[in-house]
């Protein structure tokens, strides 16, 4: 199996697993226990908090550990809605956001909040003038993802954050697909809230974090989703997943050290794969080809059903959109927002590469894709 679905999840790095193993075997103590055994587990949590904070340029106390990005997104958006509704009940987000953000916003609409879903341009980028016109005195939060999970499009986050702050709104960016792959500094970009997930950058599943700004220009207050014990500064109660948190920390440390070389090597493989795939007649890239993450390409194959393509490529792991919506029979909301028709949206594949892919895999992948595309088109026409 050639694995090209790294935006869905990544293989755990062996060095991360090695870091986790002691906390799954001998060092199994509860990090909240006050005996020496528990204090040792707590030290592992402290180290991981430091490693994550160093990766994103925050302070340690601004990192709250969660079960993953989805929980972090819920904590951030619902927490702001609960705590800042005296200022207003207006939230702004984008039509191409991950469903974790969109579903929370729809939930809040049923609770009396007003949500503006901004369109994107055909290349997936947000028009800043459209954002300006949507901002209001009662806007309490703007949420725009840094890197799109389906197309890899990178939004101009620094400019978006500045506009949000000028209007008196908090700014959140979903960093799930960016952290560990791009250099991200929360202060440089003006980020107030940022969810992230370990399994997107070679860490374990079931653990993530939320950055919550606690320094100037403001200290953000969030209402907790989970109560009972007051863990994580009262923001997320529950016994800490010490092994997972240690793994997240190690993944963050490795990303900080190896991000540059990873980006160059993976980017070269992606470019070679994309170049060869685009030689197939009736193909084109979805999304902005320049403002895009180096590891992903989303390609339209005219006249081919993406599910049929995936079935035909049974020894290559690829996807036709977000793994979180794979049970849906609806076309990708991201590609529809780009202006694709339903038929076109059902004819696209996402190839997302990672640390464990090699350039030697490209020729085999391209050859198999070409054969399957030709076969499907012959059946249709």
Q: Name the residues annotated as catalytic.
A: 324
Integer Cα distance of 195 and 122 in angstroms: 26
Strand partners for 64 = 210
Closest of 288, 280, 92 to residue 171, by C-alpha: 92
- Enter the tokens of residue 168: 């008196």
Integer Cα distance of 247 and 183 in angstroms: 20
Closest of 217, 201, 140 to residue 209, by C-alpha: 201
| Rounded to 5°, angle at Cα 179 from 44 and 7 | 110
Contact 212, 206 (CB under 8 A): no
Phi-psi domain of 314 (left: phi exceeds 0; alpha: psi -120 through 50; beta: other): alpha
Buried b (16+ CB within 10 A) or exposed e, 74-98: bbbbbbbbeebeeebbbbbbbebbb
């Amino acid at each position: 199996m050639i694995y090209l679905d790294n935006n869905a999840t990544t293989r755990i790095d062996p060095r991360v697993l090695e870091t986790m193993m002691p906390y799954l075997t001998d060092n199994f103590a509860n990090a909240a226990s006050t005996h020496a055994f528990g204090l040792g587990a707590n030290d592992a949590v402290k180290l991981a908090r430091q490693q994550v904070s160093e990766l994103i340029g925050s302070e340690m106390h601004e990192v709250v550990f969660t079960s993953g990005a989805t929980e972090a997104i819920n904590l951030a958006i619902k927490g702001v809605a609960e705590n800042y509704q005296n200022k207003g009940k207006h939230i702004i987000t984008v039509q191409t956001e991950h469903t974790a953000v969109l579903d929370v916003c729809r939930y809040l609409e049923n609770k009396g909040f007003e949500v503006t879903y901004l369109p994107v341009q055909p290349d997936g980028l947000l028009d800043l003038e459209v954002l300006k016109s949507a901002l209001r005195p009662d806007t309490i939060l703007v949420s725009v993802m840094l890197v799109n999970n389906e197309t890899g499009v990178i939004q101009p986050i620094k400019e978006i954050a500045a506009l949000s702050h000028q209007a008196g709104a908090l700014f959140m960016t979903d960093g799930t697909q960016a952290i560990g792959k791009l250099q991200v500094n929360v202060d440089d970009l003006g980020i107030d809230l940022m969810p992230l997930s370990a399994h997107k950058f070679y860490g374990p599943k079931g653990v993530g974090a939320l950055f919550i700004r606690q320094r100037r220009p403001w200290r953000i207050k969030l209402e907790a989703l989970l109560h009972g014990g007051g863990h994580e500064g009262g923001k997320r109660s529950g016994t800490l997943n010490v092994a997972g948190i240690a793994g997240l920390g190690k993944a963050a440390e490795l990303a900080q050290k190896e991000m540059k070389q990873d980006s160059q090597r993976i980017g070269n493989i992606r470019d070679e794969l994309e170049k060869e795939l685009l030689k197939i007649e009736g193909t084109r890239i979805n999304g902005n080809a320049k403002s895009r993450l180096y590891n992903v390409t989303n390609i339209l194959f005219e006249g081919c059903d993406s599910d049929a393509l995936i079935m035909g490529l049974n020894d290559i792991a690829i996807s036709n959109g977000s793994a979180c919506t794979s049970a849906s029979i609806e076309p990708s909301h991201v590609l529809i927002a780009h202006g694709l028709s339903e038929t076109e949206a059902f004819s696209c594949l996402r190839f997302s590469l990672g640390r464990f892919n090699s350039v030697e895999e490209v020729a085999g992948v391209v050859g198999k894709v070409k054969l399957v595309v030709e076969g499907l088109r012959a059946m249709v026409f």
